[in-house]
């Protein structure tokens, strides 16, 4: 009920729509109404039917890594070496998708900054983003206004983390990230344009 008028309204803009959901029924409804990208923070683990919905469509699927679930993810998350652990997780998940008929060129991976990670873990992921290129999938990252920015700075509130977001975005782009998810689109886009111009 909430999604339908939003999807219909945005379809008029003739842009690719993405929806964030862990539920197969919501996925199918969105895809039937023209959505092209499904973003699942559980990487298709929450709902056993989700993988079949994706299999039977032509959409892109964003698989995000999260340790635990939204209620437990920040309760003392632990890793051996977080970038390698996440890379191993994605390797298994990509193989599972391919076995179920979902081609790799439809899969986008998101290391899940802030989802079951401490600020130290988030920094380690950012410093080692290139490790994910060997998986040969497009990489998406969401850094916008995340808490690790204020932890590295002066404990700013989310709305005051835009400069830090831009810095983190550009750092990620330098390491070959394909998609950045942001709140402040105009600011992020301007920063990207200038970065690209200066690289020429």
Q: What angle do CA 99, 101, 103 make, to 5 degrees?
A: 100
The active-site residue out of 2, 146, 147, 199 is 146
Q: Look up 181 and say whether it is catalytic.
A: yes
Q: Look up 146 and say whether it is catalytic.
A: yes
Helix/strand/coil (H, E, C) string of the chain? CCHHHHHHHHHCCCCCCEEECCCHHHHHHHHHCCCCEEEECCCCCCCCCHHHHHHCCCCEEEEECCCCCCCCCCCCCCCCCHHHHHHHHHHHHHHHHHHCCCCHHHEEEECCCCCCCCHHHHHHHHHCHHHHHHHCCEEEEECCCCHHHHHHCCCCCHHHCHHHHHHHHHHHHHCCCCEEECCCHHHHHHHHHHHHHHHC
Structure tokens that stand for 72 in this block: 């437990």
The active-site residue out of 36, 147, 181, 192 is 181
Q: Which residues are catalytic?
A: 146, 181
């Amino acid at each position: 009920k909430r999604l339908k008028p939003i999807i219909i309204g945005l379809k008029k803009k003739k842009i690719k729509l993405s929806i964030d959901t862990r539920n197969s029924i919501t996925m199918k409804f969105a895809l039937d109404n023209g959505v092209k990208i499904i973003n699942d923070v559980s990487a298709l683990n929450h709902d056993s039917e989700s993988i079949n919905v994706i299999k039977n469509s032509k959409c892109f699927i964003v698989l995000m890594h999260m340790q635990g679930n939204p209620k437990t993810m920040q309760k003392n998350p632990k890793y051996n070496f977080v970038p390698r652990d996440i890379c191993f997780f994605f390797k298994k998940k990509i193989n599972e998708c391919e076995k179920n008929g979902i081609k790799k060129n439809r899969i986008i991976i998101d290391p899940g900054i802030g989802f079951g990670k401490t600020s130290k873990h988030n920094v380690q992921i950012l410093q080692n983003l290139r490790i994910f290129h060997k998986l040969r999938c497009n990489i998406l990252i969401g850094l916008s206004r995340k808490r690790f920015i204020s932890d590295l700075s002066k404990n700013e509130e989310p709305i005051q983390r835009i400069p830090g977001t831009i810095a983190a975005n550009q750092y990620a782009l330098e390491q070959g990230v394909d998609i950045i998810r942001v709140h402040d689109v105009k600011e992020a886009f301007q920063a990207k344009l200038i970065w690209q111009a200066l690289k020429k």
